[in-house]
Each structure stands twice: as structure tokens, then as C-alpha cells.
Amino acid sequence: MNGLTETTNPANEPLGLGETKEYIGVFHDEEDALITALIVAARGICEVKTGRAFIERNFKQFLDEWPEGDTIDFARPVKTTTGGIALKYNASSGGSALTVGSTSYVLDSASVINRLTLKNSQSWPTLELRRTNAVELTFTGGYGSEGDVPEQVRIAMLLLVDHWYRNRGAVVVGTITKVIEFAVDSLLATVTVPHVA
């Protein structure tokens, strides 16, 4: 995989502002913007650690060339209940991206790493590709809305927001413990997918 971009933003966050303020013990509105920013940051960190998108949104994945085999691994787990998958490629001669028909491939959504696999007797297009980001795979990822995100993810995010809210410097002085990091990693371990190279 060469690159991955989000083509839509999450419609909401796995944590609401009210529940987060209650958890961290804040009962005023003066720092709502800060707490909201910490929620977004916690989601981002947890998504990187797990290799998942939590809130449903659209992605575009790029490859420089077709894979040697008949399978493309998705960079994030795919949400198959909404939207579709589009596979396009760009020829070296230029022009608009060309589409690979959905009848040419199947989606394996049962594997830990979802993949798109050519059907029997199908092959990747043979047209010469442009040098970079020639293949574009568009898909929808994420669990759904905030109510669909696993509870252990939400707890890990609450721990991070609470820690960052109380420790506003880059370094915590006078401690050598790693309790927060261990707790977050443990909570996220059950939803983490293997890294896709």
C-alpha cells in the first residue's frame, strides 16, 4: 500500500462532550473547546494504534501498481453494510481513471485483514499504468456511528482525555510509571488489526 486518505470526515466522535466531562469531573463550560479537541486527538491516536476507523467514513487507498498476486489488502477494515467499493486505475497515457467492473472481484470481509480478490479466470488490466498512485481503491470503513464503537475503545479514549486534561505538559515530572499507556494498549489490543505493509 502506498497511501490512504480520508475522503469524508467522521459525522461525530465515539465520545460525547457531556459524558467525557462527567468522566473527568468537569462541571463548567469554559474548556469545552479543549475537551472536544482532546476527544478528537484520542480518537486519532487510538485509530492509529488499532489500524481501524471507528466512526464510519470514506477512504481512498492508492497503489503504484497492481499486486503480483490476485489480492489487494485493505488498509482499514471495510464496512460492507453501506456504500460500495470502487476500483479504478490510471493509464500512463493520461485521461480519466478507468474502472474495474465489480463483477471481476469479490470482497473477503471474513478475514482479519479484509481483501479484494479477483474472481477465477479474471486478471488485472494490462494497460500500462502511470508511475505513482496509479491504482485507486475507494471504500467505506468504520464501525458505524458512536453507539457502534466497542466499549473498550471508548474507555481507552476516556483514559487518554482524562490524562491529557490533567497533565498539560509534554512531560510528567516525578513519575516513571507507564500505567496509562499499558491500560490503553490493553484495552485496544482486542480490536487491533495486523499492520498492512
What is the per-residue pLDDT for 196?
53
Domain count of the fold of the chain:
2
What is the per-residue pLDDT for 84?
84
Rg (CA), the chain: 20
In a domain, 195, yes or no: no
In a domain, 196, yes or no: no
What is the per-residue pLDDT for 176?
57
Check whether residue 68 and residue 130 sit in a common domain: yes
Q: Which residues, 6+ apart, have CB-to-CB distance to 71 below 8 Å?
A: 115, 116, 117, 118
Cα dist from 74 to 9, 60, 71, whole Å: 19, 10, 10
What is the per-residue pLDDT for 1?
54
Given a contact cutoff of 8 angstroms between Cβ atoms, the answer to whether 67 and 135 are in contact is no
User: What phi and psi values does residue 112 have, to the nearest 5 degrees?
Assistant: -60, -45
Top-confidence residue, 179 or 60 = 60
- Per residue in 33-57, pLDDT (tens digit) is 999 999 999 999 999 999 999 999 9
* DSSP string covering 77-97: -B-TTSS--EEEE-BTT-SSP
**pLDDT > 50? residue 197:** no
Model confidence band, residue 111 (pLDDT cutoffs 50, 70, 90): confident
Q: What share of the chain is helix, strand, coil (3-state, %, to 5)?
A: 30, 20, 50
Check whether residue 72 and residue 136 sit in a common domain: yes
Check whether residue 67 and residue 126 sit in a common domain: yes
**Which CATH number characterizes residue 71's domain?**
2.60.40
**Which CATH number characterizes residue 154's domain?**
1.10.3230.30
- Per residue in 137-186, pLDDT (tens digit) is 999 999 999 999 999 999 999 999 999 999 887 766 665 555 667 899 99
Residue range of the domain that includes 95: 58-140
Pick the range with the lowest mean pLDDT from 36-45, 76-85, 88-97, 186-195: 76-85
User: What is the mean pLDDT of the segment spanning 110-123?
Assistant: 92
